[in-house]
């Protein structure tokens, strides 16, 4: 289903108005690499100042030194972004605890440094819509499967073709200094397979599947 930012904002304003006291409305926003999860979440946050907190799954990447300590460090670094390169149990536990308490501190991810930044995002007490965005939010495998059951009120899946996602991720890698050949290899060996997993496992698990009909950077 095609939608736009105006429609999403209207939907979330209605959800916000229904909240009482310190209630929160938790949304899980999933999609393949390059689908625009972060862009969509940030665009909505800017449109609704003070009403939205965005928690990215990227903050739960294992640190590079943790990848170095794995059985196959070369493979771990090459596959960074695959499910096994995330601190999945910690991610689920901290979201579950925040849902119960109504507040919490969460890590962000510094792409320049290549590691998380601890306690960089604060979810404060009070009425709020919480958008958690990431790749594996709707997987059926534990511990990920607990998110839909115990954390999210609504789940979204960004329906962007895998070819378009791959194109965007290739461009993103080139912007970091990779050659086009290097970028295409990284996508074919890592980002592409991750995207196929996400799409196959997630689209049928989302309560709302949509694509943004306006340009992805339009807010």
pLDDT(6) > 90: yes
11-34: pLDDT as tens digits: 999 999 999 999 999 999 999 999
214 pLDDT more than 70 = no
The structure tokens listed for 169 are 């991720």
Q: Which residues pair with 212 in a beta bridge?
A: 3
Q: What is the CATH architecture of 2-212?
A: 3-Layer(aba) Sandwich (3.40)
CA distance 27 to 13: 13
Residue with tokens 């997987």: 139
- Kindly state the percentage of the chain with pLDDT values over 70: 97
First to last CA, the chain: 19
- Residue 33, phi-psi category: left (phi > 0), alpha (psi -120 to 50), beta (remainder): beta
Q: What is the pLDDT of residue 218?
A: 45
Q: Show me where the domains of the chain are located.
A: 2-212
151: nearest Cα among 132, 125, 128, 127:
132
Task: Report how far residue 64's alpha carbon sits from residue 76's, in angstroms, rounded to the nearest whole number.
Answer: 9
pLDDT digits (tens, 9 = 90+) for 50-106: 999 999 999 999 999 999 999 999 999 999 999 999 999 999 999 999 999 999 999
Mean pLDDT of 207-217: 75
pLDDT of residue 212 exceeding 90, the answer is no
Q: What is the pLDDT of residue 181?
A: 97
């Amino acid at each position: 289903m095609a939608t736009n930012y105006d429609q999403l904002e209207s939907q979330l304003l209605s959800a916000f108005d229904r909240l009482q006291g310190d209630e929160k409305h938790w949304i899980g926003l999933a999609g393949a690499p390059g689908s625009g999860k972060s862009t969509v979440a940030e665009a909505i946050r800017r449109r609704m100042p003070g009403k939205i907190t965005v928690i990215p799954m990227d903050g739960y990447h294992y640190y590079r030194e943790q990848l170095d300590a794995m059985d196959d460090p070369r493979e771990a670094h090459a596959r960074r972004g695959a499910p096994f390169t995330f601190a999945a149990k910690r991610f689920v536990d901290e979201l579950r605890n925040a849902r119960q308490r109504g507040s919490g501190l969460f890590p962000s991810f510094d792409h320049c440094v290549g590691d998380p930044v601890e306690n960089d995002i604060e979810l404060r007490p009070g009425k709020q819509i919480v958008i958690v965005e990431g790749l594996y939010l709707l997987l059926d495998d534990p511990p990920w499967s607990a998110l839909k059951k115990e954390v999210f009120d609504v789940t979204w899946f960004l329906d962007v073709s895998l070819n378009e996602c791959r194109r965007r991720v290739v461009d993103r890698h080139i912007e970091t200094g990779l050659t086009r050949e290097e970028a295409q290899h990284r996508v074919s060996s890592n980002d592409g397979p991750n995207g196929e997993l996400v799409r196959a496992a997630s689209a049928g698990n989302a309560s709302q599947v949509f694509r943004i009909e306006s340009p992805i950077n339009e807010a």
